């Protein structure tokens, strides 16, 4: 009699767990509908598609003929003795130019210094030991943020570098108030300085009616019914409306949630609680970044992904997602 009773209890427990799984999946699908391109997990899956990434970069850079050779998402630039740089998109074009997209949700960061650090890490990553400096590729970093943090009143602006000499270099034109000196300095200020590094800031706050502004509106909604953005719209519709697409989003979202990376972001954004987002993101980032960093180091040491999974005590599936 006891055995029959135990069997019923076990079956009932299994049924409850199955209901929980179904509910969890339904919740995930509901969450997927709300995802935007400012959601890390969703952006990662969207930009895995080279055509969608190419579409976005063409608009944000103004390079209409740009063609990508490869694309990596949530790519970690890691050094053992320094802070890591976690890029939303790292890509390389057919002509060898490197493109990076960083989508920043938070307002309480020093955006220019963050960009400076990311660009330095990119240069370091692409210059191997023993190579000459002229082998560093041209780099374009597109930094997307929600707010017009400099208050320029435009949706997009680029950082340009110019040569400018001191007044003493103008020779006889150095006399204070000299019109010749002023003209000389203005002429020098207009002479560009080219080092192969290009930075462009884009924000989702200003709507000037431009193509870039329309794309930023789409970033804020990722509406699958909006078919006006070519390959990007096709990718979003696939991920939000088709079974295989939703499966892929769930797969990546599970990885983010297991590492805790997206917990602060999603909860913080939904509730509008900036502090909650920051605390949750910091707690979750530690484990996710640490494991990815260790996996990359082991990969460089020649370890297979099966060996990496065993050593880090995580699933082989997680390792593949980290290293893809």
pLDDT-derived band at 156, boundaries 50, 70, 90: very high
**What is the average per-residue pLDDT within 79-101?**
87
201, containing H or E segment? strand 197-203
DSSP 143: E
Out of 127-136, 194-203, 262-271, give the one with best mean pLDDT.
194-203
Q: What is the pLDDT of residue 226?
A: 96
Q: What is the pLDDT of residue 279?
A: 53
56, containing H or E segment? helix 50-61
d(Cα 54, Cα 65) in Å, to the nearest integer?
10
Out of 108-112, 167-171, 198-202, 268-272, give the one with best mean pLDDT.
198-202
d(Cα 122, Cα 85) in Å, to the nearest integer?
9
φ and ψ at residue 256, rounded to 5 degrees: -65, -45
Are 141 and 104 in contact by the 8 Å Cβ rule? The answer is no
d(Cα 268, Cα 279) in Å, to the nearest integer?
9
Note if the pTM is more than 0.75. Answer: no
**What is the average per-residue pLDDT within 136-153?**
94
Residue 74: is its pLDDT beyond 70? Answer: yes
DSSP 255: H
- Does residue 255 or residue 196 have the better pLDDT? 196
Could you tell me the end-to-end alpha-carbon distance of the chain, in angstroms, rounded to an integer? 53
Are 232 and 224 in contact by the 8 Å Cβ rule? The answer is no
Q: What is the pLDDT of residue 187?
A: 58
**What is the average per-residue pLDDT within 267-279?**
49
List the single range of 8-22, 107-121, 162-176, 195-209 with lowest mean pLDDT. Answer: 8-22
Average pLDDT along the chain? 78
d(Cα 7, Cα 172) in Å, to the nearest integer?
100
Q: Which residue has the tokens 């020098």?
A: 188
Q: Which residue has the tokens 């979003």?
A: 236
Q: What is the pLDDT of residue 323?
A: 63
> Maximum CA pair distance of the chain?
110
Report the side by side order of strands in the sheet with 197-203: 68-77, 85-93, 98-104, 139-145, 197-203, 156-159
Beta strand pairing call for 156-159 and 98-104: unpaired
Residue 277: is its pLDDT beyond 70? Answer: no
List the single range of 56-60, 216-220, 241-245, 304-308 with lowest mean pLDDT. Answer: 304-308
Are 249 and 35 in contact by the 8 Å Cβ rule? The answer is yes
**What is the average per-residue pLDDT within 159-167?**
76
Percent of the chain with pLDDT over 70: 70
Residue 70: is its pLDDT beyond 90? Answer: yes
Q: What is the pLDDT of residue 112?
A: 92
Out of 130-134, 165-169, 174-178, 205-209, give the one with best mean pLDDT.
205-209
d(Cα 47, Cα 53) in Å, to the nearest integer?
5
Report the interhelical angle of 2-34 vs 243-259 (nearest 10°): 100
φ and ψ at residue 49, rounded to 5 degrees: -85, 115
Residue 272: is its pLDDT beyond 90? Answer: no
């Amino acid at each position: 009699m006891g055995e029959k009773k135990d069997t019923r209890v076990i079956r009932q427990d299994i049924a409850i767990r199955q209901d929980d799984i179904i509910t969890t999946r339904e919740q995930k699908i509901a969450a997927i509908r709300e995802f935007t391109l400012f959601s890390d997990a969703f952006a990662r899956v969207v930009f895995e598609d080279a055509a969608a990434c190419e579409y976005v970069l063409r608009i944000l850079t103004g390079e209409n003929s740009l063609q990508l050779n490869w694309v990596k998402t949530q790519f970690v630039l890691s050094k053992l003795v320094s802070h890591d740089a976690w890029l939303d998109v790292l890509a390389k074009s057919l002509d060898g130019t490197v493109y990076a997209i960083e989508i920043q949700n938070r307002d309480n960061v020093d955006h220019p210094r963050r960009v400076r650090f990311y660009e330095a890490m990119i240069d370091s990553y692409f210059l191997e030991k023993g190579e000459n400096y002229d082998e560093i590729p041209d780099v374009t970093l597109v930094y997307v943020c929600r707010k017009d943090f400099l208050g320029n009143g435009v949706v997009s602006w680029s950082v340009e570098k110019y040569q400018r000499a001191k007044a003493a270099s103008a020779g006889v034109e150095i006399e204070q108030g000299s019109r010749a000196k002023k003209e000389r300095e203005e002429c020098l200020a207009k002479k560009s300085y080219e080092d192969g590094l290009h930075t462009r800031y884009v924000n989702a706050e200003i709507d000037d009616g431009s193509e870039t502004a329309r794309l930023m509106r789409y970033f804020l909604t990722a509406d699958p019914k909006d078919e006006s953005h070519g390959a990007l719209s096709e990718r979003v519709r696939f991920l939000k409306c088709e079974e295989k697409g939703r499966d892929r989003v769930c797969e990546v979202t599970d990885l983010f949630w297991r590492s805790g990376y997206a917990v602060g972001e999603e909860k913080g954004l939904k509730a509008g609680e900036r502090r909650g987002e920051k605390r949750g993101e910091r707690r979750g980032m530690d484990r996710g970044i640490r494991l990815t960093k260790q996996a990359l180091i082991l990969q460089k040491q020649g370890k297979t992904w099966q060996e990496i999974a065993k050593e880090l005590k995580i699933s082989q599936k997680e390792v593949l997602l980290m290293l893809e």
